[in-house]
Amino acid sequence: MTESVQVATPGWLAGDDGHRLLTSYLNQQLVDSAAALRLARRMAGLYHDSAFGVVLTGISTELAQDRASVRALMERLGISVSRYRAALGLFVDTAGRLTPTGQLLARSPLRPALELETLRLAVERKWTVWTTLRALAEQDRRLDAGRLDALVHRARRQADTLDELRLEVARAALSSRTRAGVGAADDTEPDTDPDAAPA
């Protein structure tokens, strides 16, 4: 006996199955985008007095806008935000930077390059989310194809910029010369929730 195969129809995304899958998918992207935003803001603050920091400040602004786009899309689709996932994401992000004694990991000349690599990978994941949603826009009119096209393009540009920075920082860290303003800062700024109001 052959089992029937469920095919995604134009109304499938609005059904229970589609809604449940999109809820999990977009909530995970919200958690990932929050982690990327925290990292970008932390790095931008550490290197605020350098060209490196200026670029990261611009990327941080865009990452915040992208995160707002995810939330707006979730609201439009009637998807609620999982506070549990958000809290767990913040805990995991912070715990990953602690030593067994509870102190923040010390910085090294190569750490900025590794953090930029982490940021780039986060942006790549975001790009896959936008491209997936862009494909789904052909089935669901609630998804704005034009807006998603713009987000896809911006994610690709962000990834390219971060990769250029990563290579530049890695070359400086691995060479005998020390690049001014990069890798000399002390990572003492605590992590904060991107949704929290500024002091």
- Cα-atom radius of gyration of the chain, to the nearest Å? 19
User: Is pLDDT above 90 for 9?
Assistant: no
Q: How far apart are CA 106 and CA 108, in angstroms?
A: 7
Question: Which numeric CATH code is attached to 15-174?
Answer: 1.20.1260
Which residues does residue 98 pair with via DSSP β-bridges, in sequence order? 104
Q: pLDDT confidence of 24, banded at 50, 70, 90? A: confident
pLDDT tens digits, 132-178: 999 989 888 889 999 999 999 999 999 999 999 999 988 888 884 44
- What pLDDT is stored for residue 22 in this prediction? 87
146-161 burial code (b ≥16 CB/10 A, e <16)? ebbeebbebbeebbeb
Tokens of 142: 């609630």
Taken as a whole, the chain contains a residue count of: 199
- What pLDDT is stored for residue 155 in this prediction? 97
User: Is pLDDT above 70 for 7?
Assistant: no
Long-range contacts of 190-196 (CB under 8 A, 24+ apart): 191/38, 191/42, 191/90, 191/93, 191/94, 191/97, 192/38, 193/34, 193/86, 193/90, 194/34, 194/37, 194/38, 194/41, 194/64, 194/67, 195/34
Whole-number Cα distances in Å, 31 to 35, 38, 64, 165, 184: 6, 11, 12, 24, 29
- Contact present, 104 and 115 (Cβ < 8 Å): no
- What pLDDT is stored for residue 174 in this prediction? 82
Residue appearing with tokens 């006996």: 1
Largest separation between any pair of C-alpha atoms in the chain: 70
Give the distance from CA 162 to its chain's centroid.
Answer: 12
pLDDT tens digits, 55-109: 999 999 999 999 999 999 999 888 888 765 544 444 345 434 433 434 445 566 7
